[in-house]
Structure 1
Amino acid sequence: MTQIGLEAALWRGKTMSELRFDGKVAIITGGGRGVGRIHALTLAARGAKVVVVDPGVALDGGSGASNAPASEVVAEIKAAGGEAVASFEKVNDRAGAARMVELALDSYGRLDILINNAGNSMPELFEEQTLEQFELLNEVHYLGTVYVTKAAWPHLVKAGNGRLVNTISEGPTGMHERGTGYGGAKAGVIGLTLSLAAEAKFHGVGVNGFAPRIATRLSAPDVLAHVYDRPAEDFVKNMAMFPSELSSPAAIYLAHESCTLNGVLLVSGGKQVMRMAIMENEGFRGEDMSVENIAAHIDQIIDMKDCIHVGIGAKVGMPVVKA
């Protein structure tokens, strides 16, 4: 047996200690359904007191409202012996964002964890996406994340080891069509996450991104059928491989005080967790920076085989290395 094989065998024989959240208070926006619901149930089962935020609106995020999603999750947590309260605020309402944080403080006296999970979806081709839809997508995804984080931030800092997990997406990478509105809004969340992480290191707060690969309302077969112009039944079997339960653990880990990551983006789902990052290569250097010389060296410029990660150090408290 190789040394690596021996170490693996020894590790399998060990019992990993459970990562608990006893005494911690967490807010989960969009916590009434999908992966947000699993976040809430898992944190509560591991000892956290949870504020489940969900206005119960429709998929577009701007119509309908129901107290049922958040209330049902809270009832489920309490039935299992946990502690939770429901909030029906909308993240894109500044006053509502402040109220959900106040609810956490009034109910439990502190705030340690914020998972910004609320989102909406209106997939359309760029020429068909209305400006009003662009605005609403940005209001919920980007500004909603800003509003709630702004209200929660002083308390995460006060906690001493607060954790902020922003739900991001692979959408901004241009993976599929009909994603300019959603992908653009989520790109804003990525930028906010990485930029805030650069400041968070001074406070011992961990700020990271979590991109779920899950089967929820935002990725239901009928939605994917519209995105890819294929029959909905083509996606039923595939999406069954991506339940929220296989994605949520990565976000829960990022929310734990033992996690020292900061400024890291994790993608998780379907029995896989990976890192997503912004990379740069060495590119081309030359005295003659003319249009023609760039054209002559374009293959070298776009070659990413020797690329390096761009951003802050990946650990909480790690200083920025400046050139």
Structure 2
Amino acid sequence: MSADEFRFDGRVAIVTGAGSNPGLGRSYALLLASRGAKVLVNDLGVGPDGRGQIGPGVEAVVEEIRKAGGEAVADGHSVAERDTARAIVDVALDTWGRVDILINNAGIAPFATFDEITDQDIERVIGVHLMGHIWMCRAAWPHMAAQNYGRLVNVSSAVALGGLPTQSIYSAAKLGIVGLTRSLAAEGARHGITANAIAPYADTVALQTMLAEETRKQRLDSGLTTEVVAPVAAWLAHEDCTVSGKVIEAAAGSVSEAFLSHTTATQPNPDLTIEDLPAAMKQALDRSATVPYPEGGDFMYDIVKPYETTPRTA
């Protein structure tokens, strides 16, 4: 072991949606465990569209970790409900007494156009992605705050930033995760909790269902494996990583930041009319001069009364 190797000894990690092979969650769990973390491996065992069953699931991932000398437990609760999300965190607490890292990787992606996707699938996608992140972060938050340490790694998608036909609800949920992450980063600073989002792209079971074999092989030849995304998630989960509120894109060993920016605003005009908009929009849509959107909520403090914390009810 190298003296400067990044380790997770003594840390407890929860990785949701970690039962697929190949799968990003599995790669996150294996890497963290190989560096000393105790890992709760969570997955419902359903297919990429949220239906059926895929194997061999979480037990196989746990067995891989244990055979390599690591420590892990399997969990099959859903992230999409408040009580089951709490149950996932409780398993980690009952087993190891703490939670340091949460990687919210669980997700489903049924393909359907906006007018054809069923109401049930809309609720399922929002439930697993956006609400799953909310419930899991909410379940882990008080324990991280009490120990003044936590690392939240939320999983968004480039689809949320660029849009994709047949994935309108998925895109909405994934962009909602960005907003959640940035706000949790602002709130978590005083509790020693960082929150970042990762937008990964790699060969997974989900991609296998969408791509022809030749196309998939070409992407693998380009290095789009889950194993080279895992170090990015692991770094964001490490105690030495202090950045927070970021969206990090990761694919084929390449890393970049996706960030919000805005153009130069037009001058305030209290007499603005609809007729003024053609000229105003021409300037507003000019991207030749842009600046990053403020982070941490600082830009709101002058117009919003600082929040007062209130006891959380069940």
Among candidates 148, 158, 166, match of residue 178 of structure 1: 166
2: CA distance between counterparts of 1:293 and 1:193?
A: 36
Query: What CA distance in whole angstroms lies between the structure 2 residues aligned with 1:256 and 1:185?
Result: 26
Q: Could you say which residue in structure 1 is the equivalent of 2:219?
A: 238
**2:309 matched residue in structure 1:** none
What is the letter of the counterpart of residue 29 of structure 2?
A: A
Q: Show CA shifts across 1:119-158 (max 9, x none).
A: 0011222122222211110010011111111111111212
In 1, Cα distance between equivalents of 2:155 and 2:288: 29
d(CA) in 1 for partners of 2:128 and 2:238? Answer: 25
1:141-196 Cα deviation digits (max 9, x unpaired): 01111111111111121232210000111112234321202101111111111111
Counterpart code for 1:223:
M
The DSSP-based 3-state class of the residue aligned with 2:180 is: helix
How far apart in 2 are the matches of 1:17 and 1:320? 36
Confirm whether residue 32 of structure 1 aligns to residue 14 of structure 2: no
- Number of aligned pairs? 296
SS of the counterpart of 2:238? coil
Tell me the C-alpha RMSD between the 2 structures. 2.0
2:124 equivalent to 1:150:
no
> Residues of 2 paired with 1:72 and 1:192: CA distance?
32
Matches within 5 A, 1:212-231: 212-220=200-208, 222-224=209-211
Shift of 1:296: 1.7
Aligned residue in 1 for 2:71: 83
1:47 to 31, 36, 51: 36
Alignment of 1:49-64 (within 5 A): 49-61=38-50, 63-64=51-52
Match for 1:120 among 88, 105, 108? Answer: 108
Look up the match of 2:305: none
Task: Give identity over the alignment, percent.
Answer: 39
Q: Aligned letter for 2:18?
A: G
* Aligned position for 2:276: 293
Match in the other structure for 1:95: 83
Amino acid at match of 1:304: R
1:275 aligns with 2:262: no
Partner residue of 2:7 out of 20, 26, 36: 20
Provide the rounded CA distance (Å) in 1 between the counterparts of 2:228 and 2:221.
11
TM-superposed deviation, 1:46: 0.4
Distance 2:215 2:198 in 1: 27
What is aligned with 1:264? 246
The CA distance in 1 between the partners of 2:69 and 2:244, in whole Å, is 32
Offset of residue 235 of structure 1? 4.7
Distance 1:123 1:276 in 2: 25
Match of 1:3 in 2: none
Displacement of 1:74 in angstroms is: 0.7
Q: Please tell me whether the aligned partners of residues 312 and 320 of structure 1 are also in contact (alpha carbons under 8 angstroms).
A: yes
One-letter code aligned to 2:70? G
Stretches of structure 2 that go unaligned for 5 or more consecutive residues are 303-314
Matched, 1:209 2:192: no
Classify 1:239/1:303 alpha carbon distance in 2 versus 1 (closer, same or farther; 3 Å): farther
Equivalent residue number for residue 308 of structure 2:
none
Deviates more, 1:281-290 or 1:204-213: 281-290
